[in-house]
Amino acid sequence: MVDNYKREGRVRHNTNLPLNSRFFLLISLLFCICSFSLYGQSIGKGDFSGVIIDKESREPLVNSHIFIKNYPEFNWISSEEGKFFIRFPEYLISDTLVVSFLGYKSKEVPLLSLNTSVSVIELNKLMISLDEVVVMPEGLALENLISDILKNIKNNYPSQRHQLSGLYRKISTDYSEFTGLIEAAVTIQDVGYSKDISNSKIHINSIRKGDELAKADSVYLDYIEKVKARVVHETGVKPISNDLVDLYRQNPARGAFYEDALFTERGLRMTLIGIPEMPVYHEIVGVEVVESDTVYHIAFGSTDPPIGTSYMKVNSRDFAVLELQQKVFLNADRTDYVEFFVKYRKVKEKYYPEKIVYKKMRLISRDVGGHSMDIHTYWFDEVNTGKFKKIRFKDAIKADENIGFKVDEYNQDFWINSEFIKKHPLDSAVIRSLERYRNLQEQFKSNGKK
Instruction: With CA atoms as reference, report the closest residue to 67 among 299, 308, 297, 295.
Output: 308
Q: How far apart are CA 167 and CA 367, in angstroms?
A: 30
Q: What is the 3-state secondary structure (H, E, C) of the chain?
A: CCHHHCCCCCCCHHHHCCHHHHHHHHHHHHHHHHCCCCCCCCCCEEEEEEEEEECCCCCECCCCEEEECCEEEEEEECCCCCEEEEEEEHHHCCCEEEEECCCECCEEEEHHHCCCCEEEEEECECCCCCCCCCCCCCCCCHHHHHHHHHHCHHHHCCCCCEEEEEEEEEEEEECCEEEEEEEEEEEEEECCCCCCHHHCEEEEEEEEECCCCCCCCHHHHHHHHHHHHHHHHHHCCCCCCCHHHHHHCCCCCHHHHCCCCCCCHHHHHHHHCEECCEECEEEEEEEEEECCEEEEEEEEECCCCCCCCCEEEEECCCCCEEEEEEEEECCCCCCCEEEEEEEEEEECCEEEEEEEEEEEECCCCCCCCCCCEEEEEEEEEEEECCCCCCCCHHHCCCCCCCHHHCCCCCCHHHHHCCHHHHHCCCCHHHHHHHCCCCCHHHHHHHHCCC
Q: How far apart are CA 202 and CA 393, in angstroms?
A: 9
Cα 157 versus chain centre, distance? 19
Angle formed by the axes of helices 265-272 and 142-151, nearest 10° = 150
- Of the CA atoms within 13 Å of residue 326, those in its CB half-sphere come to 22
Dihedral over alpha carbons 24, 27, 30, 34 (to 10 degrees):
-110
Q: How far apart are CA 393 and CA 164, in angstroms?
A: 17
pLDDT digits (tens, 9 = 90+) for 169-222: 999 988 778 999 999 999 999 999 888 888 899 999 999 999 999 887 777 677
Cα distances from 275 to residues 268, 363, 370, 378, in angstroms, run 12, 33, 29, 33
Instruction: With CA atoms as reference, report the closest residue to 342 among 246, 201, 241, 248.
Output: 248
pLDDT digits (tens, 9 = 90+) for 276-311: 888 888 888 777 788 888 888 888 888 877 877 889
Cβ-proximal residues to 170 (8 Å cutoff; 6+ apart), any chain: 180, 181, 182, 183, 243, 374, 375, 376, 377
Instruction: With CA atoms as reference, report the closest residue to 28 among 271, 416, 432, 330.
Output: 330
Per-residue pLDDT of the chain (450 residues; tens, 9 = 90+): 333 333 322 334 334 555 555 555 555 555 554 443 333 333 345 678 889 999 999 999 887 888 888 777 677 888 878 888 887 777 778 888 988 886 788 899 988 887 666 689 999 886 554 444 444 443 346 778 888 998 898 899 998 999 999 999 999 988 778 999 999 999 999 999 888 888 899 999 999 999 999 887 777 677 777 877 887 777 777 777 889 999 998 888 887 656 667 888 888 888 888 888 888 888 887 777 888 888 888 888 888 778 778 899 999 999 999 999 998 888 877 778 889 999 999 999 999 999 999 998 887 777 777 778 899 999 999 999 988 999 999 999 998 887 766 678 899 999 999 999 999 999 888 898 999 999 999 999 999 875
Instruction: With CA atoms as reference, report the closest residue to 75 among 67, 86, 64, 65.
Output: 67
Whole-model pTM: value is 0.79
Q: How far apart are CA 178 and CA 371, in angstroms?
A: 10
Q: How far apart are CA 251 and CA 230, in angstroms?
A: 28
Q: How far apart are CA 290 and CA 100, in angstroms?
A: 15
